A and B are shown apart, each in its own frame.
Chain A
């Protein structure tokens, strides 16, 4: 009886771990799914927007600590919003300066945004220093929840999960229920017609790109709860994120969710049986092989040529 509940506890925690990885991947992939999936723009600097969000959170934490320490328990949610805003603003600027000139050249966008990622990385390094930093986390995010005996679920993991679900839901709602969402979908499906009926496609592009970056920024804020941030933190998972989006079927947000879930679970389960690096190799190789067999990803929307 003892070992059974032990096994149950382990399974529960392992399952939670899988869900945790899933929500992290989803947070990173959401913004990218919007930009790449809907607009076809490869933003290699996506990870850097995550980092921008994380550093914004850190900055807020330092400032609040120095000037208004009484506010500390409450600042975090404001920081998340600030992270979104800063990343959104930078994304807006980047789209206006660079991306909009490269729309029909996806490979060139790839290279140019890689250059951008180097610049942002160095900028962060110059301002914040090369070593990793962490914001002061409020009390309510620390510690763990113990629903059952022996089952320890870290609260920051729950926070990240909750945030990613809220954001996915919010994005889906925005995309399918709001006017903006309608404009985006129209522009993606038929740019010429959309322009002809009065949709400002340039503005739609700019807002969408900035929104994708803003979402990444929020993701960055969420990350600060589970790990430290350095200038290169953003680039660590950029390839995984792209694969997640591509694997799910780039045009489908639902596909991104499914893909993130599958990949996260595969990785977590594999880690049970082998080393971390071999698990990663296995997961990535499986994705690549499946993509080679089915390049359109899991969920593809068939269009008339």
Chain B
């Protein structure tokens, strides 16, 4: 139990952080927000999955992936395909020239369901695909790149290329994928209407729970020897290699984990928002997902969630009130985070806020705790 407490929860400080976020996500937001706004927060929290994954592969592993939208999208599309097939029963689509297939296929003169859609009739298979397809892609990409010792810069560029390729492919093959509009009009999951208020509430909580599961898994990973190795590889990759470790395998692993997290986020997005489109797959959304992690603090799993929430709140607010200002702000954010605040909000908290809190607590006579050598992320 104590190892779990120390490694996964992160001891007292980690517990406090987790509790604060849990209170915010599970209590405060549902209490003060109506279902519509709560759904919006749920949407932002799906982006947090990607950000949390990036903390692990970028912050700790040093692997900057500018194509996480690919995995987010793949997870989302897998879920969307299942939901779309469910909504495209022969009865529901009786007016189409070919009933029983999704509407956009009918508009594009597709007359039979493509073979790769067939497995998505089954929910278990769809769920499996949500996790396996992105993981497999990450495995192939990662193995090809890291075994060849491709540099971090080239890797970033190639991930951008993959994001571009997938988004162009999806948009170009609109008969099979729904094209630029994506897959829309999703209604029910195994008969349960996901558009109802009740469903949205349930999905919000499921989303939150999954997010916390990912965070705890991430904590477990980072507290293990693997986590220390990631830090070591970021510091002196050669030394790790010459200590008998096949560095590439570790990089591939953490890249796959980040991919799976992103995919879960994508699937939850589809469920909560009711559609998935290529606008989440390409270069621009993928780089935006990086900024969520960067603002929160690339070394902080919890920070990533806050980063995702804050940047997206900012985006909705500014895009409505000062649309011209928003891109300036976001551009400025990228620059500020790189030049002034490399560890984001979590770094600011650690360097400025926490010492003050510790001093205040010490002033009240409580025992001063020195910062532990292994920080909870």
Q: For residue A125, which residues in chain B have a CB less than 8 angstroms away from its CB?
A: 324, 327
On whether the beta carbons of B327 and A101 are closer than 8 Å, the reply is no
Interface residues of A in 118-143 (CB under 8 A from B): 118-119, 121-123, 125-126
Q: For residue B149, which residues in chain A have a CB less than 8 angstroms away from its CB?
A: 295
**From residue A273, how far is it (CB to closest CB) to chain B in Å?**
14
Interface residues on B, range: 35 or more
Interface residues on A, range: 35 or more
Q: Which of B144, B294, B337 contacts A292 (CB 8 A)?
A: B144
B339 within 8 A of partner (CB): yes
Interface residues of B in 154-173 (CB under 8 A from A): 154, 156-158, 160-162, 164-165, 168-169, 171-173
B240 within 8 A of partner (CB): no
On whether the beta carbons of B153 and A116 are closer than 8 Å, the reply is no
B150 within 8 A of partner (CB): yes
On whether the beta carbons of A239 and B153 are closer than 8 Å, the reply is no
B332 within 8 A of partner (CB): yes
Q: For residue A40, which residues in chain B have a CB less than 8 angstroms away from its CB?
A: 153
On whether the beta carbons of B164 and A122 are closer than 8 Å, the reply is no
On whether the beta carbons of B330 and A107 are closer than 8 Å, the reply is no
Give bound CA distance, A23 to B282, whole Å: 26
On whether the beta carbons of A121 and B165 are closer than 8 Å, the reply is no
Q: For residue A126, which residues in chain B have a CB less than 8 angstroms away from its CB?
A: 324
On whether the beta carbons of A115 and B332 are closer than 8 Å, the reply is yes
B152 within 8 A of partner (CB): yes
On whether the beta carbons of B160 and A121 are closer than 8 Å, the reply is no
A102 within 8 A of partner (CB): yes
Q: For residue A112, which residues in chain B have a CB less than 8 angstroms away from its CB?
A: 334-335, 338-339
Q: For residue B160, which residues in chain A have a CB less than 8 angstroms away from its CB?
A: 239, 242
Q: Which of B157, B168, B169, B171 has the most CB of A within 10 A?
A: B157
Binary CB contact string for chain A from 87 to 124 against chain B (1 if under 8 A, 0 otherwise): 00000000000100110011111111011111101110
A278 within 8 A of partner (CB): yes
Known A119-B328, A239-B160, A277-B171; contact A111-B334, beta-carbon cutoff 8 A: yes
On whether the beta carbons of A239 and B150 are closer than 8 Å, the reply is no
Q: For residue A281, which residues in chain B have a CB less than 8 angstroms away from its CB?
A: 165, 168-169, 172
**From residue B167, how far is it (CB to closest CB) to chain A in Å?**
10
On whether the beta carbons of B161 and A110 are closer than 8 Å, the reply is no
On whether the beta carbons of B327 and A118 are closer than 8 Å, the reply is yes
Known A102-B339, A107-B152; contact A115-B168, beta-carbon cutoff 8 A: no
On whether the beta carbons of A284 and B161 are closer than 8 Å, the reply is yes
Give bound CA distance, A42 to B151, whole Å: 13
B83 within 8 A of partner (CB): no
Give bound CA distance, A291 to B294, whole Å: 28
Q: For residue B139, which residues in chain A have a CB less than 8 angstroms away from its CB?
A: none
Given A105-B338, A115-B335, A243-B157, 11 additional A-B pairs, CB 8 A: A40-B153, A108-B339, A115-B338, A239-B164, A242-B160, A275-B172, A281-B172, A284-B165, A285-B165, A288-B158, A288-B162
A-contacting residues of B (Cβ < 8 Å)? 64, 66, 141, 144-145, 148-154, 156-158, 160-162, 164-165, 168-169, 171-173, 283, 287, 290-291, 294, 324, 327-328, 330-335, 337-339, 342
User: Can you report 5 A-B residue pairs in the complex whose CB atoms are below 8 A from each other?
Assistant: A117-B331, A119-B328, A239-B283, A277-B172, A284-B168
